[in-house]
Each structure stands twice: as C-alpha cells, then as structure tokens.
Structure 1
Amino acid sequence: MKGRLTARDATLRYGDRVVSADLDLDVPDGAFTAIVGANACGKSTLLRSFARLLAPSSGHIAFDGRDVRDYRPKTIAREMAFLPQGLVAPENMVVRQLVARGRYPHQTLLSTWSADDERAVTAAMTAAGVTDLAERRMENLSGGQRQRVWIAMVLAQETPYLLLDEPTTFLDITHQYQLLALLARLRDDGRTIIAVLHDVNQACRFADHIVAMRDGRVVAAGAPADIVDAALIKEVFDLSCVITPDPVTGTPMIVPTGEYAG
C-alpha cells in the first residue's frame, strides 16, 4: 500500500548504534497507522526519522518522492505535525499560549494573529478537552492534563499528517479512548495518522493499519485482521496468547495464556 510518506533502504542510527537497517515502509494515505512492538524496538526512532529529527545514515525517508530533509522546516511543518515524548513547556506559560504555538508554521514575519488562527486554537482545545484549562499555567497541571494540552497544540497546527509518539502516555483510560476515537474521526475526515502505541488491543480497535516491529525491523504491516495472530504476538512480544474477536468491534483482541493467564 503506497502513500506520500515512505522509507526506502533506510538505516537509522544513534552514533555507532544501529537501530534499524535497510528499512522499507509505505505509510498509507488517509489511514490510521499504529506502530507497535516491544520497548526499544525502533518505533520512536522510525517516527523521528519521518519527522526529520533523525536523518538516515543511508537510504531515504521521502515525502511525495522527495527526501524530507530537502524541505524547508516550515514547509514540512504545514504538512506534518509531530508530538514526541517528554516535552517540557517554558516556565510560566499558560495553556492557551502553548496551544497557540501550533500556529507557528502558518505565520510569517509580517503576518498578524488571524481569525483562522483563533478558530484553530479554539477548536483544538475543545477537541482535546482542555478549554477549561486555558488560563492555567502548565507547571500546575497533572501529567494527563499536560499531555492533552500538547495534543491540542499539535491539533492546532492543522496538518494533513499527524505523527504521535505514545500519545496516550499519562492519560487515564477514559481520556485514552477519547483521544483514540478523536484520531479515528480525524482519519475519517481525511487526515493521515501515525501513532506509536503500546496497547495492541487499542491499536487493533482504532487503527486500520498496523506496523509491527522487532529489533529495528518491520515484522509485518497491514490491516489488523490480516496480520495480528498468536504467531505474530509471540514473535514481536515473546507473549503466548490466543486471539479472540473484540466483543464490541470484532477486531483482533489479545488474551494472554500460560503464566500470564492470571
């Protein structure tokens, strides 16, 4: 399945440590792609390379057939919004100010704050459920509240592509499902979503394309119903399980067996 965002023979490394070698992947347009795998398997590294934060030491990461590094930062930022892990807000910044930073790619030296900017920020805060926090300082929020504000900032960027690294981190279970349902709605509206997720059952329920990784390589990629089975989960996570239909959606649901059965 081809798309505008691709990896071709890409080797990704940090110094002398190779994370992924000869990586090939097509991200389907207009889909919700979930990248899953065990800790330190290369999920976040792959996402960082898509976002231009890590250049391949060989091969290419391309957007519309052009190396992502060849784009000006603001140009690519109008196409792709990236939410990494571990963000820290400037001291004394209030929520609305931080969300407004998502409009930076749409600003020029001569532009002023516009009605479109105000609409985008208001809509993003509403979608992320942080409108009531607008005048609160970031340092006074809980971890889950801060995460929702960062999500609002990315939504305010209004890009056709959203790249999210573990976006459900710090969120309680209700806000996890609210966020994933929001991402699915954005997909239905034509956006392309790429998210690193830890919960494979959530990935199967909300995403329509799964990329399963182990040791820096893509083990399988495709629709959940086509690729997620007990053999894949064993290979990717070293977890024995059975796969049963989700009682609500019918999508694959992992049920651990053996020593993890309870």
Structure 2
Amino acid sequence: MTGRLAARDVTLAYGDRTVSEGLALDVPDGRFTAVIGTNACGKSTLLRAFARQLSPASGRVELDGRDVAGYRPKPFAREVGFLPQGLVAPENMLVRQLVARGRYPHQTLLSAWSREDERAVSAAMDAAGVAALADRPVESLSGGQRQRAWIAMVLAQETSYLLLDEPTTFLDITHQYQLLTLLARLRDEGRTVVAVLHDINQACRFADHLVAMRDGRVVAAGAPGDIVDADLVKEVFDLSCIVVPDPLTATPMIVPKP
C-alpha cells in the first residue's frame, strides 16, 4: 500500500539514543490510521518525523515523492497539520485567537484576514465543540476544554493530512467518542488522518487502518479485522486476551484475560 506521505528506510534518534532503525511505512491516503503500542515504543517519534519536527538520522520522509525537508514551512503546513502533546498557549490568549493561529499558513504579507479565514475558524470551533468558549482565556479552561481548543486550531488549518499525537488526552469519555467520530467523518470527506491512540478498542472501532509498533519497529499494519488477534496483542502489549467482535460495529474488541 502506497501513499503520498511515507517513511523510507528511516532511522530516528534523539542524540545518541536510537528509537527506530530502518523504518519503512506508507500512510494510506484518505484513511484513518491509528498508531498503537506501549509507551516509549516510538509512536510519537514517528509522528514527529512525518510532521518535520524531527529530522531522520538516515533515510527520508517523503511527501509526493519529495523529501519533506525540502519544503518551505508554509506550503508544508498547508498540506500537513500536526497536534503534538503538551502544548501551552501564551498567557491571556482567547480561544478564538488560538484557533485563528491555524490560519497562519494561509496568510501572506499582502493578504488581510478574510471571510474565508473567519469561516474556517468558526467551522473549526463548532466541530471541536468550543464555539461557546470563543471569548474565554485558554488558561481558564479545564484540561479537556484546552485540548479541544488545540484540536480546533489544527482543524482551522484545513490541511489534507491531520497528524494527532494522543488527541483524546484529558477528554472525558463523551468527548473522546465525539472527537473520534469527527475524525472518522473527516476521513469520509477525503482527509487523511493519523492519530496515536492508547485505547486499542477505540482504534479498532474508528480507524480503518492500524499501525502496531513495538521497540521502534512496525509489528503489523493493515485493517483492524485483518491484523488484530490475541497473538498480536500479546506481542505488542504483553497482554493475554481474547478478541471478540464489537457488538455494535463487529470490529475487533479486546477482552483481557483475568
């Protein structure tokens, strides 16, 4: 399976610590890919490489066959939106102002704020469920509300690719499912979504493509129904389980053994 965004024989490292070596992965276009695995297995590092936030020690990350390092920042940011973990907004910034930052890649020295920018910001706040918080300072929000504000900022970017590192962090169960439903809808509308998720059952229900990682390598990649079984869960998570059909979606559902 090939896609416009891909890692080609990539080695990823932080200084002398190598996280992944010889990694090869294509992101399928128009799909919702969930990256799963234990903590520190290389999921976030892979996403940072796709987003140009981490340069490979060797190999290359490509967009349309071109090394992403060769793109200028704004053209790349009009194609690829990235939500990392642990973002902190400047003091006294309103939610509306934060979300408006997602329009930065579309601005030029000669262009003023436009109706299209305003439409994109309003639509993003509505989609993320923060329209009613538009005039609140970001620092006054709860953790879950802040996370939704950051998600709105990335949505306002209106990119072909959405890369989200643990986007359900701080969200209660209702907002987790609302967000995942939104990401699935964006996929259905033609966007390509890649999200690091911790809940394998949510990943199987909402994503149509999984990448399972362990120790910096891809153990398996494919449709949830094709790759998820008890052996894979044991190899990736060291968890003994049975796999049964989800009663609502018939996608794989993991039930840990006592």
- Which category of TM-score, normalised to the shorter sequence, fits these structures? over 0.9
Name 1:8's counterpart in structure 2. Answer: 8
Name 1:127's counterpart in structure 2. Answer: 127
Unaligned runs of 5+ residues in structure 2 are none
Question: What is the CA-CA distance between 1:207 and the residue it aligns to?
Answer: 0.2
Paired letter, 1:99: V
Rounded to whole Å, the distance in 1 between the matches of 2:232 and 2:43 is 16
Question: What is the CA-CA distance between 1:110 and the residue it aligns to?
Answer: 1.4
* 1:184 equivalenced with 2:184 (yes/no): yes
Unaligned runs of 5+ residues in structure 1 are none
Rounded to whole Å, the distance in 2 between the matches of 1:148 and 1:192 is 19
Give the 3-state SS of the residue equivalent to 1:20 in structure 2. Answer: strand
**Superposition map of 1:144-155 within 5 A:** 144-155=144-155
Name 1:170's counterpart in structure 2. Answer: 170
Paired letter, 1:209: H
Question: What is the CA-CA distance between 1:138 and the residue it aligns to?
Answer: 0.6
**Superposition map of 1:164-243 within 5 A:** 164-243=164-243
Rounded to whole Å, the distance in 2 between the matches of 1:91 and 1:49 is 29
Name 1:23's counterpart in structure 2. Answer: 23
Aligned pair count reads: 258
Paired letter, 1:142: S
Name 1:109's counterpart in structure 2. Answer: 109
In the TM superposition, what whole-angstrom CA distance separates every residue of 1:85-112 from its partner, at most 9, and x where no partner exists?
0000000000000000000000001110
Question: What is the CA-CA distance between 1:129 and the residue it aligns to?
Answer: 0.3
Paired letter, 1:77: A
Q: Give identity over the alignment, percent.
A: 78
Give the 3-state SS of the residue equivalent to 1:60 in structure 2. Answer: strand
Question: What is the CA-CA distance between 1:250 and the residue it aligns to?
Answer: 0.2
Question: What is the CA-CA distance between 1:232 and the residue it aligns to?
Answer: 0.3
Name 2:92's counterpart in structure 1. Answer: 92
* 1:48 equivalenced with 2:43 (yes/no): no
Question: What is the CA-CA distance between 1:131 and the residue it aligns to?
Answer: 0.5
Rounded to whole Å, the distance in 1 between the matches of 2:196 and 2:215 is 15
Q: After the TM superposition, which parts of structure 1 deviate over 4 Å for at least 4 consecutive aligned residues? A: none
Rounded to whole Å, the distance in 1 between the matches of 2:41 and 2:110 is 44
Paired letter, 1:20: S
TM-score for both structures, normalised by structure 1: 0.98
Name 2:138's counterpart in structure 1. Answer: 138
Give the 3-state SS of the residue equivalent to 1:194 in structure 2. Answer: strand
Name 1:247's counterpart in structure 2. Answer: 247
Name 2:81's counterpart in structure 1. Answer: 81
Paired letter, 2:233: I
